[in-house]
Structure 1
Amino acid sequence: MKKASAIASVLGLGLLALSAATASAAPVLMSAEWAKQACNAWNQDPVLTTKLVESGWIKNDKGRGYKLMQIYRADCENSPHVELKIANKDGKAWCTSGGKAQSALDKSVDYAMWAETDRWMEMGRGEYGPMKAMMFGRLKFEGPKGEAMGNMAPFTNFLRLVGKVPSDTSTCP
């Protein structure tokens, strides 16, 4: 009887550990939950928060008070896009929200970017930056191209958020 009780205890602990691991699993890459975490990571990056103010990038918002960056995984057909809303807050380019895309983009001030999952992960690891990614068609991009070209260092840091924010790439959002 003691042996059966011990086995039941071990099995119970195993199930408890499995459910805890599942509860703390990384969100699916470019899901709404992942975008919330990417927004927080943006705010921890001094290049993104300061250089985009210094360059004037944050001011190009058509008077709305924010810019949008919508991103998605090209190989996840019909998956929702996610967006980061960036605003000038206390002199910093601050991500004020991240989640499912809900806003219409104005491509004269906002950005849309998409790539295959493997390419996002390569850029997130820093294997190459935005210039190479765009030149070789690995990253598709819509938005103010001249403005983006003038902000390559922050744009690089933005792409690296994909590698900094834990994610599950085994499924689509």
Structure 2
Amino acid sequence: MCPNGQRIIFKRDQNKKNASGFVQSYKIYQCEYCSGCPLKEVYTKAKGDRKVHWNPIFEEMKTKAKTALECDKKAAIYARRKIEVESVFGHIKGNRSFRRYLLRGLEKVHTEFGIVALAHNLLKIASYFQVISKKTQKQEEKKVSFFSSCFIRGTYRTAPLFIRFH
């Protein structure tokens, strides 16, 4: 039933091939009478009657994934995967522009990705050391400016000769 109370009836099955060449089968349902419906603009942009494309296999897979995520143990695995792996592949694809292998064969592809992963890790380490050196450089600049301002004002005092340790 549609929100206006009209029946939605089965019309036909349809197979569609997506961009990667995978064929998906859909069941197409159509509202009996949509013209003159006050809710039509809210629920559809179609010129004629409203059509609903439903893929039962996709719906089954969605419910399977949803039930898997409801389990705490599996949800923790998915969360860890998001943090550990997917961001790295996204970074390699998006920021390093590695979208296609140049070599053929499983062993050569494995070697090529090993080189890409090695380069990614080396660049990560280099950026980490660059951030650390900038932080220490800023800290040194702060120390120098603090001591120079204290020296100019004459407010810098040395520590007492004896320090009590507990």
- Write 1 or 2 for the structure with the bigger share of helix: 2
TM-score using structure 1 length: 0.20
TM-score using structure 2 length: 0.20
- Write 1 or 2 for the structure with the bigger share of strand: 1
| Structure with greater contact order relative to length (CA < 8 Å, sep ≥ 6) | 1
